[in-house]
Amino acid sequence: MKHFQSKVLTAAILAALSGSAIAADVYLKNEVYSKEEVNTEIANAKTAVEEKITAAKADLDQKLEAQKTSNSEEIKKVKDVVKNLIEGDDQNPGLIDTITDLNTSVESNKSEIKSNKSEIEKLTTDLADTNTALDKTTEALNQAEEKITAFATETEKNIEAINTKLDEASKSVNSSLDDINTKADTALSTADEAKKVADETKQSVDTKVKAAEAAAGKAEDAAGKADTAAGKAEAAAAKVTDVEKVAKAALVEAYNNAQDINGFKAGDTIYDINENNEITAKKATEDDVKADDFEGKGLKEVVAEHDQSLADLTETVNENSEALVKTAEVVNQHTEDLTAVKTAINKNEDAINDTKDDLR
């Protein structure tokens, strides 16, 4: 009966194929193994390797599928929140509608200020008329005073309304931005974790592939019957390739999630994965950028733009508030001047009446 003379070589082959030292320990219990016994040990070791690879692939498929579903849902929720913040809905006006309402209110106040200013100038000119004009001026002054009082009251109401809208808009925007930042951070963390798992899996797979290739080479040198073992090793390598394919799909998914967060532009590489985990890559075009929900902008940039819009809105409202305060001061000054003129008119009227009495 023909025997293998190198027990060390055979032990190394068994250890590499089984991924542990169990096969080597079994072999070293005896001085020499027969060819049939070696073939049996190799077959048993390969079966153990295949079972481990199959179990690892199934577990990885399950985890990656769950991870992929979770990431896609989170990104979609974040995009919906940002879109709703910009456009609004039937119950809550969006940021754009809020700014438009405020601008309309400010323009309306400017028109009223110009109208009242023209009326005050006209009243001032009428003060130089005769006794009949004085009577008409007195009546007009009374009406102007009522309008000024009403305007001042309306101005205060407008200021309160603007402040109320600003507070509501600020609370809504801040709440939405906090939610967006939290979900974006969660998505980044999840993507990093998925990439880490994929990297570790690929590294483990590469190690086992190299071990299987080395074992096949040594087995071929050691015996002419190693063809059978090599064939099984190729089958195991094919299964390992499937695992590596899934790992690459996870990396692509993580890359796509990063693009959703950071954005992309024409010329950047974009990936697509079909139901069979087959990956296709191409350079992004301008049409791809326009077709994106945020036209290539990432969630970080969209949030930053909303922060700037809120800052600009706050500055505009502050400027309008200052203008309204100054207008109120001017109106109050005119009110004081008109009161003084009215007093002077009353005195002139008394003097005229006294003169009339003297003429009688």
Per residue in 148-206, pLDDT (tens digit) is 677 667 757 766 775 676 567 556 546 655 665 565 566 567 556 656 755 665 575 46
Residue 68 has pLDDT above 90, yes or no: no
How far from the centroid of its chain's Cα atoms is residue 256's Cα? 14
- The phi and psi torsions of 210 (rounded to 5 degrees) equal -60, -40
- The phi and psi torsions of 263 (rounded to 5 degrees) equal 90, 170
Provide the residue ranges of all domains of the chain, joining segments of one domain with +: 7-263+298-359
Which has more confidence, 101 or 253? Answer: 253
How far from the centroid of its chain's Cα atoms is residue 190's Cα? 15
Residue 285 has what DSSP assignment? -
Q: Give mean pLDDT, residues 326-341.
A: 81
Q: Give mean pLDDT, residues 7-18.
A: 53
Residue 63 has pLDDT above 70, yes or no: yes
How far is Cα 217 from Cα 120, in angstroms, rounded to an integer?
Answer: 105
Q: What is the pLDDT of residue 105?
A: 67
Q: What is the pLDDT of residue 117?
A: 67
Residue 132 has pLDDT above 80, yes or no: no
Q: DSSP 3-state assignment of 134?
A: helix
Residue 292 has what DSSP assignment? S
End-to-end CA distance of the chain, in Å?
Answer: 162
Q: What is the pLDDT of residue 234?
A: 60
Q: What is the pLDDT of residue 1?
A: 40
Residue with tokens 């025997």: 3
Question: Which residues touch 348 (CB under 8 Å, ≥6 apart)?
Answer: 134
